[in-house]
Amino acid sequence: MTIKVLIVDDSAVVRQVLSQVFSQATGMTVMDVATDPIAAMEKMKQQWPDVIVLDIEMPRMDGITFLKQLMASRPTPVVICSSLTQKGTDISMQAMAAGAVEVIAKPMAGVKGFLEESANQLVQAVRSAAAARMNRVRVMPSAGGATLGGGAPPGGLAPTSNPLETRPKLSADAILSAPTGGNMFATTERIIAVGTSTGGTQALETVLTALPRTCPGLAIVQHMPEKFTRSFAERLDSLSQIEVKEASNGDRILPGRALIAPGGKHMMIKRSGAFYLVEVVDGPLVSRHKPSVDVLFRSAAKFAGKNALGIIMTGMGDDGAKGLKEMHDCGAKTIAQDEESCVVFGMPKEAIRLGAADEVMSLDTIAKAICR
């Protein structure tokens, strides 16, 4: 199936560059472009898109209001394409909470060059969104206003190969050598390593807000652009009993604390005596992501072994599947989110296929498993 994309952005340059990027991708077509949500509504009366690429700050109606109306009337996959300013990232987090399934960061200046260089990321974001099962996305109540149409949302669009991707797909070997399989001596410290992608922002909110302050410390990789992870962590911190923060190099993994890998950096678990900390490093993309779940899980396998629990949740692709298998083989307990509760059953599916998961469970039961 061809993925029909509607681009809603008041910048003519952004509309032009995005149209060119998506038109060149196999299995993807630009259905139409619109300068603001009001114009988009008119176009959607004639034809409904599979994915909407949406700016936030636009004339006549802002993107958040449009998104809420859309999700209340006819849930449709939305990719937010927002600026890198602090204001932009905060508002984009509101959009993710309201039902957007992916977020792409764009700079305030040099937008044309950035979008052209980020073609691979843009195409993959749209493919991930198209594969999302919108009935699994929790959305905020509508802000009111006109409805946008009826009928069932698109679903079941399978991702196709990306001809724009020319770089080799690197494994965790690019950052950290494989574990040797030696026994890791036991400690009273227990840690949780979590990896997720598309649909993960809301999945993590479900899990973290259900955890008590006495829970083991968590190290988390959520595929998200640079600068967005800080706003994401701050939002979760405000909603949770536990402390949630964007990780800094050397932060300890402590009970009642969740550390989220910064966008654009890899995060590894390291051991210092009887306790654990995180190391935040730069490096190449691993499994075409930075941060990479495979890097986090490999470090947990190598330095924590049976003292760790590995959890892989909703997401497109296979990042984390091999790393979870390494954790499993080094004695860690491992969990994969089940298909029924995933927005995109990609990463957990690959982990299950490799025999990496000791248990497969629904999203609502993962917090209880962490506490056990």
- What amino acid positions are annotated as catalytic residues? 197, 223, 319
- CA 117 to each of CA 6, 112, 128, 137, 261: distance values in angstroms, whole numbers, following the listed order: 21, 9, 19, 30, 23
Q: At what angle do helices 200-208 and 86-97 cross, to 10 degrees?
A: 80
Cα separation of 201 and 105, whole Å? Answer: 16
The 3-state secondary structure of 203-250, one letter per residue: HHHHHHCCCCCCCCEEEEEECCCCCHHHHHHHHHHHHCCCEEEECCCC
Cα separation of 337 and 84, whole Å? Answer: 31
Which residue matches tokens 């001809």?
Answer: 163
Give the burial string for 287-309 (b: 16+ CB within 10 Å, else e): bbbbbbbbbbbbbbbbbbbebbb
277 has which bridge partners?
252, 270
Given a contact cutoff of 8 angstroms between Cβ atoms, the answer to whether 74 and 150 are in contact is yes
Neighbours of 112 (CB within 10 A): 12
Task: Report which of 259, 192, 253 is spatially closest to residue 230, judged by C-alpha positions.
Answer: 259
